[in-house]
């Protein structure tokens, strides 16, 4: 990767990795609204939305974050989290402070459990939601509910598989109702479960009930995760009854239709079926392009329409995947200094959707074969031109497959990561001047050999 890669690009690429490494709710809650702020040779500064988020990331995910940044930058070993420019979010936390900080965390979360305090992702609004045949029913129902909560469809049940915009709609609805003065609470079913469990443990059931029964709009996301949790389901059942009887609005999102929730309390299921159930399905091609266009507006450089169309047609299913592909295409283009092109998109989509099972040894022997040398020579120390070149290509392919530089080094006679990063940069430089090398790399990557 070039030294010039910006903090923004590095962090976007690191987020791309983290997105596939951590559970989705974790990513959504803690990582999504963070930004690469600045960098030097070995440190990346990342801006996070609050000290609370900083603390959470620092205590629970810090090594994962540092690893991801190191893997994509090939160089940076330290990450600092800030809330505002230049202000460290918190003092660096030592491992033996973990317990103390966990206690602090539960304090803070207790404070944010005030019903009026649900905050919404400012990017998830009705305005930024692209409407198409796959989601218009869900969109209009959510909009209608936000206009007249409690009086239209109660509950509103939105279902569809992951990454299709359910959480986006819930946030849009919640934020609009809150802006209009309603007491709104948004929780994932995991949060609901945790709060319920904690209330039992700490004998704070009254506070739990107050918190939930004093709201006018309750949004519960990913309700399928309540499956099998009888006690929590029953708490939700009672909350539901109370809110519903007062004409307070309930909105639920799940990855499947209500009938398919198992094991699930039948009484609760029948309540969830009282109102309106709407499905979001996979967007058609035109909607995908429109979503990508909207996303591309946030990019610093214009993205050719042909690239957006290529990504839209390349077989991703969810909207999240589409956006992830576009982010990665932009990041790779910045790293390599090549303009955003269909070739880059092809490279990214391939590593994303195909050939996940390929082992490093497969890649090594394929490259060796391609250049007419033996895998042993490729992994050895010989420095003649062909062998060195083939080795650089093999390293690049492994890197594009997501392997870290250190790890790649281990496959090539324990070379260190600086050597590996240098080799990869060399071959990227060469390939930017040499279309036939670009083709070879692509065809090796495609599994065409
Ligand atoms: P879900 O909750 O269904 O898994 P999300 O609401 O988290 O999915 O959506 C995943 C990503 O896709 C989010 O960044 C969201 O903004 C985006 N997205 C989904 N559908 C649309 C849409 N119709 N228009 C614009 N962005 C969308
Ligand atoms: Mg969601």
CATH class of 116-280: alpha beta
pLDDT, tens digit, 9 for 90 and up, residues 115-159 = 446 889 988 999 999 999 999 999 999 999 999 999 889 999 999
- What integer is the mean pLDDT of 12-39? 85
- Residue 167 CB–ligand 1 contact under 6 Å: yes
Give the architecture (CATH level 2) of 285-355. Answer: Orthogonal Bundle (1.10)
Nearest to 213 by CA among 234, 244, 179: 244
Residue pair 265/227 in contact by the 8 Å Cβ criterion: no
CA-nearest of 347, 406, 394, 422 to 66 is 406
Going by CA atoms, what residue is nearest to atom 18 of ligand 1?
A: 165
Poorest-pLDDT segment among 29-43, 87-101, 219-233: 87-101
135 Cβ closer than 6 Å to some ligand 1 atom: yes
pLDDT score at 337? 80
Q: What is the pLDDT of residues 283-314, one digit of tens each?
A: 999 999 999 998 888 777 788 999 999 899 87
Provide the CATH topology of domain 358-445.
Chromosomal Replication Initiator Protein Dnaa; Chain: A; (1.10.1750)
- Ligand 1 atom nearest the C-alpha of 129 is 24
- Which atom of ligand 1 is nearest the CA belonging to 24? 4
What does the pLDDT read at residue 351? 66
Taking only the tens place, the pLDDT of each residue in 347-404 is: 877 766 554 446 788 889 899 989 999 999 999 988 899 999 999 999 999 887 777 8
Q: Hey, what CATH topology would domain 3-111 get? A: GMP Synthetase; Chain A, domain 3 (3.30.300)
Comparison of pLDDT for 97 and 189, the residue scoring more: 189
**H-helix segments, 97-165:** 98-112, 136-147
Average pLDDT, the chain: 84
Tokens 């803690």 label which residue? 30
Hey, whose CA ends up nearest to atom 1 of ligand 1? 163
What are the residue boundaries of the structural domains of the chain, listed by start?
Answer: 3-111, 116-280, 285-355, 358-445
Please name which ligand lies nearest the alpha carbon of 168.
1
Question: Which pLDDT belongs to residue 360?
Answer: 83
Q: Highest-confidence range of 160-164, 278-282, 397-401, by mean pLDDT?
A: 278-282
Task: Check whether 3 has a pLDDT greater than 90.
Answer: no
Per-residue confidence (pLDDT) for residue 249, from 0 to 100: 97
Between the CA of 33 and the centroid of ligand 1 the distance, in Å, is 14
Ligand nearest to the CA of 222: 2
Q: Is the CB of 159 under 6 A from ligand 1?
A: no
- Range in 19-23, 315-319, 332-336, 365-369 with the lowest mean pLDDT: 315-319
Ligand nearest to the backbone CA of 318: 1
Q: How far is CA 117 from the centre of its chain?
A: 24
For residue 164 and ligand 1, the question of a CB distance below 6 A is answered with yes
**Tens digit of each residue's pLDDT (9 = 90 or more) over 44-89:** 999 988 777 887 788 778 888 988 998 888 888 889 888 865 554 4
CB 66 within 8 A of CB 18: no
Taking 60 as the threshold, does the pLDDT of residue 92 lie above it? no
| pLDDT, position 95 | 29
d(CA 182, CA 353): 43
């Amino acid at each position: 990767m070039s030294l010039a890669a910006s903090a923004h690009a590095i962090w976007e690429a690191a987020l791309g990795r983290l997105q596939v490494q951590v559970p989705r709710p974790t990513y959504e809650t803690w990582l999504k609204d963070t930004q690469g702020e600045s960098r030097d040779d070995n440190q990346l500064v990342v801006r996070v939305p609050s000290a609370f988020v900083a603390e959470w990331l620092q205590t629970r995910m810090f090594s994962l974050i540092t690893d991801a940044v190191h893997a994509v930058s090939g160089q940076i070993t330290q990450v600092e989290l800030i809330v505002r420019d230049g202000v460290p979010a918190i003092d660096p936390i030592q491992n033996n402070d973990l317990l103390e900080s966990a206690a602090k965390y539960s304090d803070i979360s207790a404070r944010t459990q005030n019903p009026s305090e649900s905050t919404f992702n400012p990017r998830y609004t009705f305005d930024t939601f692209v409407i198409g045949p796959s989601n218009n029913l869900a969109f209009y129902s959510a909009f209608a509910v936000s206009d007249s909560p409690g009086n239209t469809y109660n509950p509103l049940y939105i279902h569809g598989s992951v990454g299709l915009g359910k959480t986006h709609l819930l946030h849009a609805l919640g934020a609009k109702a809150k802006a209009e003065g309603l007491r709104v609470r948004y929780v994932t079913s995991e949060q609901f479960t945790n709060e319920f469990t904690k209330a039992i443990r700490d004998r704070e059931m009254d506070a739990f009930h107050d918190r939930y029964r004093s709201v006018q709009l309750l949004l519960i996301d990913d309700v399928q995760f309540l499956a099998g949790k009888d006690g929590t389901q029953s708490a939700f059942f009672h909350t539901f009854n109370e809110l519903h009887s007062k004409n307070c609005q309930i909105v639920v999102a799940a990855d499947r239709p209500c009938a398919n929730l198992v094991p699930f309390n039948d009484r609760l299921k029948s309540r969830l079926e009282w109102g309106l159930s709407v499905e979001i399905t996979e967007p058609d091609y035109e909607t995908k392009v429109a979503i990508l266009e909207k996303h591309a507006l946030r990019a610093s450089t214009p993205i050719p329409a042909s690239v957006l169309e290529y990504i839209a047609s390349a077989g991703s299913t969810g909207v999240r995947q589409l956006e992830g592909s576009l982010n990665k295409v932009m990041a790779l283009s910045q790293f390599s200094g090549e303009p955003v092109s269909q070739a880059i998109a092809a490279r990214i989509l391939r590593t994303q959707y195909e050939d996940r099972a390929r082992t490093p040894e497969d890649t090594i022997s394929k490259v060796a074969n391609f250049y007419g040398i033996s895998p042993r020579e490729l992994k050895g120390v010989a420095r003649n031109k062909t062998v060195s070149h083939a080795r650089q290509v093999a390293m690049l392919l492994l890197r594009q497959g997501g392997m870290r530089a250190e790890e790649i080094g281990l496959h090539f006679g324990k070379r260190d990561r600086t050597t590996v990063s240098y080799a990869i940069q060399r071959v990227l430089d060469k390939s930017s001047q040499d279309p036939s090398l670009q083709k070879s790399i692509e065809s090796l990557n495609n599994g065409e050999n």
